[in-house]
Amino acid sequence: MSRDRTRPGDDALSDSERARRELEKRLRAALIEGEEPIPDEAEQEDDAPLPLTDRVEDAPEVLAEIAPVAVEVAPAATPVEAPAEPAPTPQSPAEPTPQAPAEPAPQAPAERIPQPNLWNRLARIPVDPARMERNLVITANRHDPAHAAFDVLRTRMIQAMRDKGWHRVGITSPTAGCGKSFTAINLAVSLSRLNDFRTVLLDFDLHRPGLSRILGLKDMPATADFLRGEIGAEDYLSTFAPNMLNIGDRLALGVNGRVEPFASELFANPRSAEVIARMQTDLQADLVLFDLPPALAMDDVLALRPHLDCVLIVVGGGETRARDMREVQSRLGEDMPILGVVMNKAEVDGSAGYSYGY
């Protein structure tokens, strides 16, 4: 008996065969519609849940989210010369592209501006004619004919200073008692009577202040505080109040009110140079006189050498010896100009007076 080879109906199929055919049908449908292929039955567990693509109605949305994007790679082309750029058409000027502001180049320190009105803020010293005469400020009341020697010294000194371009004069002596402070105050008072000429007299004999004693002043600021920058020129300097002796108000006085034991160290400090230079600029001083200690007594004058343009030496007639003068010159050095030598306590032509020489 021949066997019937016709395809049996679905009802005659076993459950596994029916499931296989169903999977094949879905696989074909998925391939046609772009759905994700369904794993082979052999790779699935019998009790595993169907994949999401088994839900045919949801398949397009799911595939749209997870399907990889195909990238088409074009074959390498033969290099072709780029076409020439067309000539630019005339256009309105383009606005400049804003740029970050450049950092300013470092500049030298600005030059200090003088403060001539500083003179009007200085403290005023009352003038006592009797005290001036008693303390031998002979150029104040001009009763002593020797005052003329200081006027001559004033004129010759200014001429020499202008010729050399100098502004700072140190006044010293070889030893104590020669009259250097007497010379300094008399010369300063004579200079104060010049119109449009500004003079500053500073008491830099910090071991034995002389100006406060001559002028009879107490409780004055300390020169050391000024040089250290603890007080300004406005608080340190003074000027004479209006008076009947015609002492001008363009003479500023730095009267030292306290002894300073470390004077030479203070003078050598670079800050002192800055303070003196600032004071001279602010006052627009034409001439600065420094009343210094005796040159042979200590090293203060040597420490002050860098601050000075020249030196005026006062010698005592009948007291100063030639070897003292030679020693002073040796200590000051050949590079320190000596503006002149003033001889104090000398008898000239049978009358008491004061001589000078260059």
User: Could you report the per-residue pLDDT of 216-251, keeping only the tens digit for each?
Assistant: 999 999 999 999 999 999 999 999 999 999 999 999
pTM: 0.67
Lowest mean pLDDT among 109-118, 205-214, 261-270: 109-118
Instruction: Measure the CA–CA gap between 35 and 50, rounded to whole angstroms.
Output: 14
- The candidate with the shortest Cα–Cα distance to 264, out of 299, 309, 305, is 299
Instruction: Measure the CA–CA gap between 185 and 133, rounded to whole angstroms.
Output: 13
Instruction: Measure the CA–CA gap between 208 and 213, rounded to whole angstroms.
Output: 10
Average pLDDT along the chain: 78
Which residue shows structure tokens 């403290």? Answer: 123
Query: Is the per-residue pLDDT at 94 higher than 80?
Result: no
Q: Are 338 and 332 in contact (CB under 8 A)?
A: yes
| 3-class secondary-structure state, position 287 | strand
Query: Is the per-residue pLDDT at 111 higher than 80?
Result: no
CA geometry: angle at 226 spanning 129 and 247, to 5°? 20
Q: What is the pLDDT of residue 28?
A: 64
For 158, the token pair is 């200014």
Lowest mean pLDDT among 130-144, 157-171, 187-201, 229-243: 130-144
- The candidate with the shortest Cα–Cα distance to 290, out of 237, 247, 338, 254, is 254
Q: 61: pLDDT confidence band, cut at 50, 70 and 90?
A: very low
Q: What is the pLDDT of residue 146?
A: 86
Q: What is the pLDDT of residue 25?
A: 72
